[in-house]
Amino acid sequence: MADVKIALKIVSDLKNFISICLTDPLLLNLFRNSKTHFTRDRKLNFERLVLLIAKMCKRTLSVELEGFFGELGKKISCSVSAFSQQRSKLSPLFFLVWNRVLCESFLRHAPGDTRRWMGYRLIAVDGSNLALVNTPSLQAHFGGQSNQNSSFVQAKTFYHYDVLNDLVTHSCIAPYRTSELTLASHWIEELPVDSIAIYDRYYSTFKMFALHSWQESERKFVIRAKDSLKFVKKFLKTGKVSQVIELAPTQASISGLRQSGFATDSSTRIRIRLVRVELQSTTEVIATNLWQEEGFENDMFGDLYFRRWGVETNISKLKNTMQMESFSGLTVESVEQDFYATVMMSNLHSILIRDAQVRLDRDTSTKKYPQKVNGNKSFGKLKENLIAIFFKNREREILRELTAYFLKDTLPIRKGRSFPRQLKTSNKKCKHRTYTNYKPA
Asked if residue 325 has pLDDT above 70, the reply is yes
Percent of the chain with pLDDT over 70: 93
Task: Report pLDDT digits (tens) over 11-27.
Answer: 999 999 999 999 999 99
Neighbours of 234 (CB within 10 A): 12
Residue 427 has what pLDDT?
A: 56
- Residue 396 pLDDT more than 50? yes
Regarding predicted confidence, which is higher, 200 or 281? Answer: 200
Is the pLDDT confidence value at 1 over 50? no
Predicted pLDDT at 401: 94
Burial class (CB in 10 A: 0-12, 13-18, 19+), 388: middle
Asked if residue 432 has pLDDT above 80, the reply is no
Backbone angles phi, psi at 409, to 5 degrees: 50, 50
Please check the confidence at residue 163 and state whether its pLDDT lies above 90: yes
Number of Cβ within a 10 Å radius of residue 282: 8
The per-residue pLDDT for 440 is 53
Output phi, psi for 304, to 5 deg: -60, -45
The pLDDT tens digits of the residues spanning 33-73 come to 999 999 888 889 999 999 999 999 888 999 999 999 999 98
Max avg pLDDT among 6-10, 59-63, 337-341: 337-341
CA triple 406-408-410, angle to 5 deg: 85
Q: Under a CB-based contact definition with an 8 Å cutoff, are residues 338 and 50 in contact?
A: no
Which band of pLDDT confidence, cut at 50, 70 and 90, is reported for residue 111? confident
pLDDT grade, residue 386 (50/70/90)?
very high
pLDDT at residue number 52 = 95
Does residue 109 carry a pLDDT above 70?
A: yes
439 burial (CB, 10 Å; 0-12 / 13-18 / 19+) is middle
Question: What are the pLDDT digits (tens) for 136-148?
Answer: 999 999 999 888 7
pLDDT in tens, 179-196: 999 999 999 999 999 999
User: Which of helix, strand or coil describes residue 46?
Assistant: helix
pLDDT of residue 438: 46
* Separation between Cα atoms, residue 326 and residue 322, nearest integer Å: 9
Residues whose CB falls within 8 Å of the CB of residue 247, separated by 6 or more in sequence, listed in order: 206, 209, 231, 269, 270, 271, 272
Q: Average model confidence (pLDDT) for the chain?
A: 91
199-243 pLDDT per residue, tens: 999 999 999 999 999 999 999 999 999 999 999 999 999 999 999
pLDDT at 161 > cutoff 50: yes
Band of the pLDDT at 441, cuts 50, 70, 90?
Answer: very low
120-133 residue pLDDT tens: 999 999 999 999 99
Lowest mean pLDDT among 54-63, 84-93, 94-103: 54-63
